[in-house]
Structures are given as structure tokens and as C-alpha cells.
Structure 1
Amino acid sequence: MQTFEDVAALWQVLADWRREGLRMALVPTMGNLHEGHLRLVDAALQHADRVVATIFVNPLQFGPDEDLARYPRTLADDQRALAERGCDLLFAPAVETLYPEGQEGLTRVSVPQVSQGLCGDHRPGHFDGVATVVSLLFNLTRPDVACFGEKDFQQLAVIRKLVRDQHMPIDIIGVPIARDHDGLALSSRNGYLDRDARTRASQLYQCLADSAQRLERGQDSEAVLTQGRRQLEAAGFRPDYLALCDATTLQPVSTWQPGSVLLAAAWLGNTRLIDNLPCRS
């Protein structure tokens, strides 16, 4: 696996691949990789001849009180993991490479509607930062396919709408959530949990599963969501939201059926965890 920080070197390799008629997949990440990230590489390999991963801790995604400074940078470990999984190229630019004129005057991308509500209400500007950097990475690499995890469900909806609205010729592949043995969704933020919090963290997924079962039995959705929030509080969480939404528009719905999704975000101590459970059948 080759690693590049320079745009010109990246473009040279990509141009060679295009001349060979090879299909390319992109896996954008912020590094500190875990099994969930590596499954994105697995999925990408199923849809393309070559896989490019990116590692970029994007400052535009972090609010003033969020954890940009302490976000783990583990490049050497990430390189080994990507190479072992079959990734062909890693693009790991500095902030100055992607934003050479700084962040203040940077042209930004905003995706309306799906960026609002849910995490959009609790992390103002976050999805503008996501859309801006993903649009930039798409322009730099021009992939045929891009793979994103379903754990960040609202982010995935934002990217899908971005691609639709801009008529980008990119297939967006959503990859199902990778979970630990107790159901906790794998996340870089899990590393912030102490032993007690890690034990309790699985209750976030349990709440989603219990809520889905209640909805399947025909219980009223508002009552189910209220009971779910109380369940999270009883487990020591401070919920930001527990919502039942349309999986495409993220607008609230009242019926648990294919095309709907339960989404949750909650604080456990100083760590904010997110998870979701789509209705697939």
C-alpha cells in the first residue's frame, strides 16, 4: 500500500489507474481505525478494482467544545491495518494541504433538510463540515464508489443527498454497523469510556432493540419513544434524542416498517454515543 500526503502524487496514481480502466472505491475516515472502518475496506473491495482510503481529522466537523485536540492520531497502526486488509492507497493530507488558504474563507457545502434535526440540532455546523470535506475528497479522487458506515446514519443520508443533488456519478454504499459482543456499535469514541461506562454502554443498543420489539407489537410510537428515553436514563445515559424517522428524509414517522429507522444519541459521562436500528423487513 502506498501512502501520500501530496495531491499531485495522488493524482498521478489515480490517472494511471484510469488509463488502465480500473474501477476505484473511496473509503473516507478520520483515522484511529477499528474493525468497523476495516469492513468498509472489505465492502469497497467487493465493488472496485482499487481502494483508496483517506485519513483526515477534519477540523470543520468539530464544534468549539468538542474533542478535536484529543481525537486519537494513530497513523502507523492505521497504515498497517489498511495494508493487511488489502487497501491499495492511503491519502493522509495535512490540514494545510486540503485548506491551503485557511478555514475562515473556505467555500463550504451545506446540504439542507437532512442536516437538520437529530445530531444537526445538537452539533451546529457539523454536517456542513462533513459535506464540505467529503465533496472536496470526491473532487480530488473522482471515485466510482464510496463506502460509509451506517452507524453515522444521518451523515450517510447527508452524503447521499449531496451526491443526488450534485449529480455526482458515484455509487454510495452504506455498510452495516459493526458491533462488539454485547451489541455496542464500534466507534473510536468507545475508547473514552472507563470500565464501568463501557459495561453500561451496550444499553444504548438494547434500548433500540427493545423499542423496535414494542413497535412490532403495535404499540403507539410516541409511547414507545418515551419509554425508550426513560430506559436510557435508568441506565445512566443523558439522551439527546430517540427518534423514529424515514430512512431517506429523516423526517419523523409514526410507523415501524421497511424504510424507517430508530436513531439514538446519548451521553454516558463525557462521551456522546450514537446508534441506530433500521427496519429491514
Structure 2
Amino acid sequence: MYIIKKIDTLYKKIQFFKKQQKTLALVPTMGNLHEGHIKLILLAKKYADIVIVSIFINPMQFDNTLDLKKYPQTFLEDCLILKNEKIDILFAPKISEIYPNGIKMHTYIQVPKLSKIIEGKSRPGHFIGVTTIIGKLFNLIQPNFSFFGEKDYQQLLVVKTFVKELNYPIKIISLPIIRLKNGLAFSSRNRYLNALELKKAPFLYKIIRSTINIILKNNGRKLYETINLAKISLIKKGFLVDIFNVYNSKTLDVFSKTNKQNIILASVWLGTTRLIDNKKFKLPN
């Protein structure tokens, strides 16, 4: 495994593989690797000759400076995991390498509609940070494939949109949410949870599933009442609800009974930790 921190070194290595006509897969991460990341790496190995993992805690996508400072950094542990998984390259640049003139003066990529609704409304500028760093990694690495988890569902759609509209010759492949046995989605932010919060956290997915069951039973009727009851249940359990609603899973437009492909997107606070989750469902014909 090559550990590369400089763009020039990365470029030379990429060109070496390109000359050998190797196919490249990129798994972009912010480190603090868990089972979900490992599943993405294993999937990437099935698609490409060379697997590249990036670790970069991207300051541009944090709307809260405190959140950035406390984001878990486990670089040595991550290196051991990646070495064990036998990846080819770990790209782990410093902030100054990615943003040599600072963040405020850096060119950015924005997906107009999808970046400003739902999670984007709650976290202004977040998706500009995501698309900018992903776009930059795509330009540097020129992968044939890139892999993303579906837990950050809106992020996945944002990335797919800018790849399509800016004509990147990259196939985006997603992996369904990887969960613990109790239903809690794997997340780097789970480390923030104390023992009591860890016991409560799986309730979010439980409510998502039960809400979908009620929506299906009612064939989409009484949606407002159903969603409101779900929010009340979460609040009683100790969650602060930011987002909990049903959307078109293709466009993220608000729910309509004429659309059969739907998703519940949820963003909640449990203590000082923001948790996100989702689940797709289809309305019967």
C-alpha cells in the first residue's frame, strides 16, 4: 500500500497505472473507517484493478467549526485497516495541499437545486464543500469507478447529478446502508454517542420502518398525521428532530401519491450528535 500525501506524487503514480491500462476505483472518505467503508472497498475490488482510498477531513463541507474540530481522527488505525484490506493507494493530503490559497478563495462546484433543499437547507454550504472536494479528487485520480454509501443519500444524488451534468467519465456505484444487528447505521459520528445514547440511537431506524409500514397500509393517505406521530415518538425518546419526511427517491421532491418510488430521509440530534438515516419504499399500484 502506497501512502501518498502530495498531489505531484499521486499524479505520477496514477499516470503509471494508466500507462499499464489499469482500471481505477476511488473510495473517498474522511477517515475513522468502519464496516461500511470496508464493504465499499471490497466492492471496489470487484470492479477495478487498482483501489484508491482517500482520507481527507474536508473543512469546506463543515458548516460548524466546532464540529470540524471534534471530528474523530484515527489515521493510524485507518492505515492498519487499509493495509489489511490490501488497497493499492491511500491518498491523505493536508488541507494546504488541497486548498493552497485557502477555502474562501477556492473555485467550487454547486448543484443548484439538490444542494439547497432538505439537508442543504439545514446545513448551508455543506454540499458545495462535498461536490468541490469530490470533483477535485475525480480530476486528480481520474477513476473509472467511484463508490459511495447510501446512508448519505442526498449526497449520493448530488454527486451523481454533477458527474452527469459535467460529463465526468466515471461510473458512480452505491452500496446500501450497512447496519449493526440492532439496526443502527454504521457512522463515524457514532463515536460521539455515550452509552445511554448508543442504546437509544437504533430507535431512529425502528421509527422509520414503522412509519413506512403505516404509509403502505394507508396507501399514502393521512401522511401528515403519520409523519407527525413519528416525530412525536422521536421527541419523547429524547431526539431533536431536524428532518423527517417522505420524498421522491429520484428527485427529492416532496411526497406525491402519484409517485411510487419514495424514501424517508431523517436527520436528528441525539445529545450533541447529528444522526442521519433513510429507507426507500414503493407504494403499491
Q: Which residue of 2 aligns with 1:132?
A: 132
Cα pair 1:110 1:127 within 8 Å, conserved: yes
Per the TM alignment, residue 279 of structure 1 is displaced from its structure 2 partner at its CA by 2.0
Cα pair 2:248 2:259 within 8 Å, conserved: no
Cα pair 2:44 2:51 within 8 Å, conserved: yes
What aligned pairs does 1:1-281 form with structure 2 within 5 A after superposition?
Answer: 1-218=1-218, 219-255=221-257, 259-279=261-281
Q: Structure 2: how far apart are the matches of 1:257 and 1:44? A: 32
Deviations 1:87-123 (A, max 9, x none): 1110000000011111121111111111122211111
Cα pair 2:268 2:274 within 8 Å, conserved: yes
Q: Structure 1: how far apart are the matches of 2:86 and 2:282? A: 30
Q: Structure 2: how far apart are the matches of 1:200 and 1:137? A: 37
Greater mean alpha carbon deviation, residues 252-261 or residues 270-279:
252-261
Q: Structure 2: how far apart are the matches of 1:149 and 1:181? A: 18
Cα pair 1:40 1:147 within 8 Å, conserved: yes
Cα pair 1:28 1:53 within 8 Å, conserved: yes
Q: Structure 2: how far apart are the matches of 1:123 and 1:129? A: 11
Deviations 1:164-192 (A, max 9, x none): 11011111011111111110011111111
Amino acid at match of 1:117: I
> Which ranges in structure 1 are unaligned for 5 or more consecutive residues?
none
Deviations 1:16-58 (A, max 9, x none): 1111111111000000111111111111112111110000000
Deviations 1:142-172 (A, max 9, x none): 1110001100011111100010110111110
3-state SS, counterpart of residue 276 of structure 2: strand
Amino acid at match of 1:272: R
Amino acid at match of 2:248: D
Q: Structure 1: how far apart are the matches of 2:259 and 2:238? A: 30
Percent pairwise identity:
38
TM-score by length of 1: 0.96
TM-score by length of 2: 0.95
Cα pair 1:257 1:279 within 8 Å, conserved: no
Root-mean-square deviation (Å): 1.5
Runs of 4+ more than 6 Å apart: none
Cα pair 2:4 2:10 within 8 Å, conserved: yes
